[in-house]
Structure 1
Amino acid sequence: MTQDDGGDRSDGVGDLIGAYPPSSSERVFSGHIWDVVRETFDFPNNDEPLTRDFIDHPGAVSMVVLDDDMRVLLLRQYRHPVGMRLWEIPAGLLDVEGEPPVDAAARELAEEADLVAETWHVLTDIFNSPGSSTEAQRVFLARGLSAVPEHERHQRTGEEADLETAWVPLDDAVAAVLGGRIHNPSAAVGILAAHAAAASGFSTLRDANVAWDEHPRLRP
């Protein structure tokens, strides 16, 4: 296994890239959006190889959308696996081959919220459930908003046709996360990250096109 420390980190904190090569890999389920893969690999200090099943996911992007009054855009959408209508931030799959993540985020913002953002930064990168899925998600901050012209707006279908929208003061959104009233992981992480970044006027955030080597499908 090779490891990459992800660059210079003065605080010494950083996840390491480095996979144990599988001795076998098979697709045990093919779904409409993602598949399930079974891999066997050797792991140090284990007499027997380990076998793990996991979701092979294309990855996703999401964005905290802030207006000039420091209000965050929230969308409430029905999520059938958990049987709830969740307050979320705009998000979508990286399902267009070769599309840069920030372009995917801009596309999703237009499709889900009828908005265009002039200013983009990376808030944070996360794995939603690294013990069971390859899903990597990049959370952006989107500002400098304008409306998509009505004749160019996307026709939403399925659960997205029933979206509810709300503009919530960022401080109130933070309180909702800490109070256990917002459960979507990208929304919770993104809202808290935006609140923390606001303390420095967002000056510490990364460029929207910074490399994303941690994404399993984007590694060099």
Structure 2
Amino acid sequence: MTDLRDEPFSPEIVASEKVYQGAVWDVRSDRFRYGDGELVRQYVDHTGAVAVVAVDDEGRVLLIQQYRHPIRHRDWELPAGLLDIEGEEPLLAAQRELAEEADVTAAHWEALVSTYTTPGGNNEIIHLFLATGISRAATAHDRTDEEADIRVEWVPLSEAVDAVLEGRMRNAILSIGVLAAERRGVGGA
């Protein structure tokens, strides 16, 4: 197969309702026609998100560690955030999130990969960007809640890839990001 890709499909939606309104995202229930019948599916209705694979001149990737309550871990992640500002383009959101979460900026940006996080349970798409030409942000950001004690580390990209492949770091977005960056030959890989 030479042009392997996901295929859009739009079934007839018979009914759709918000069954839960949350602080960050909602849950919807859709009834739709599929095949010879109708199906009902509930899913998290998500705003979408961005993440940044920031790589410095020494081939190190910027990782952050913060507490994530659903998994009861302080997991290692990429700087990331929601597309929750009306009309904000994903690249601008990625630039904002890198500065807000790690107090750094980047001179060079390129799209790395986009992925649906859990297509059977939510409609979130996350856009990952590669950021290089790293420098300190002009001002530091105040952080609250789970971000108040973010730990920031610069790790050789190859070590981050090893940690993913050995199962020591299991964050899906981090995994996709560092593997895609290594595949592109970033950081001397």
TM range (shorter): over 0.9
The whole-number CA distance in structure 2 between the counterparts of 1:21 and 1:156 is: 44
1:178-197 to 2 correspondence within 5 Å?
A: 178-197=165-184
The residue matched to 1:73 in structure 2 has which SS?
A: strand
The whole-number CA distance in structure 2 between the counterparts of 1:148 and 1:173 is: 24
The answer to whether residue 18 in structure 2 is matched with residue 27 in structure 1 is yes
Which residue identity does 1:194 align to in structure 2? A
Deviation at 1:178, TM superposition (A): 0.2
The whole-number CA distance in structure 2 between the counterparts of 1:125 and 1:21 is: 26
The root-mean-square deviation of aligned C-alpha atoms, in Å, is: 1.6
Which residue identity does 1:28 align to in structure 2? V
- Residue number in structure 1 paired with 2:160: 173
Deviation at 1:130, TM superposition (A): 0.4
Counterpart among 88, 96, 99 of residue 88 in structure 2: 99
- Residue number in structure 2 paired with 1:156: 143
Counterpart among 22, 28, 33 of residue 37 in structure 1: 28
- Residue number in structure 2 paired with 1:60: 49
The whole-number CA distance in structure 1 between the counterparts of 2:150 and 2:114 is: 25
Q: After alignment, is 84-93 or 19-28 more displaced?
A: 19-28
Deviation at 1:11, TM superposition (A): 2.3
Deviation at 1:154, TM superposition (A): 1.5
Which residue identity does 1:173 align to in structure 2? A
The whole-number CA distance in structure 2 between the counterparts of 1:19 and 1:82 is: 33
The residue matched to 2:184 in structure 1 has which SS?
A: helix
The answer to whether residue 4 in structure 2 is matched with residue 13 in structure 1 is yes
Which residue identity does 2:131 align to in structure 1? A
The answer to whether residue 99 in structure 2 is matched with residue 110 in structure 1 is yes
Deviation at 1:166, TM superposition (A): 1.2
Which residue identity does 1:162 align to in structure 2? D
Deviation at 1:21, TM superposition (A): 2.5
Structure 1's consecutive aligned runs of 4 or more residues displaced over 6 angstroms after TM superposition are none
Deviation at 1:18, TM superposition (A): 2.0
The answer to whether residue 59 in structure 2 is matched with residue 70 in structure 1 is yes
The whole-number CA distance in structure 1 between the counterparts of 2:175 and 2:109 is: 19
Q: TM-score of the superposition, structure 2-length normalised?
A: 0.96
Deviation at 1:20, TM superposition (A): 1.0
- How many residues align? The count is 189
The whole-number CA distance in structure 1 between the counterparts of 2:55 and 2:153 is: 12
The whole-number CA distance in structure 1 between the counterparts of 2:185 and 2:2 is: 21
Which residue identity does 1:35 align to in structure 2? D
Q: After alignment, is 68-77 or 152-161 more displaced?
A: 152-161
Counterpart among 74, 78, 87 of residue 89 in structure 1: 78
Deviation at 1:198, TM superposition (A): 1.1
Deviation at 1:153, TM superposition (A): 2.2
Deviation at 1:53, TM superposition (A): 0.1
Deviation at 1:97, TM superposition (A): 0.4
Deviation at 1:91, TM superposition (A): 0.1
Name whichever structure is richer in strand by fraction.
2
Counterpart among 40, 50, 56 of residue 39 in structure 2: 50
Which residue identity does 2:146 align to in structure 1? E
- Residue number in structure 2 paired with 1:125: 114
- Residue number in structure 1 paired with 2:132: 143
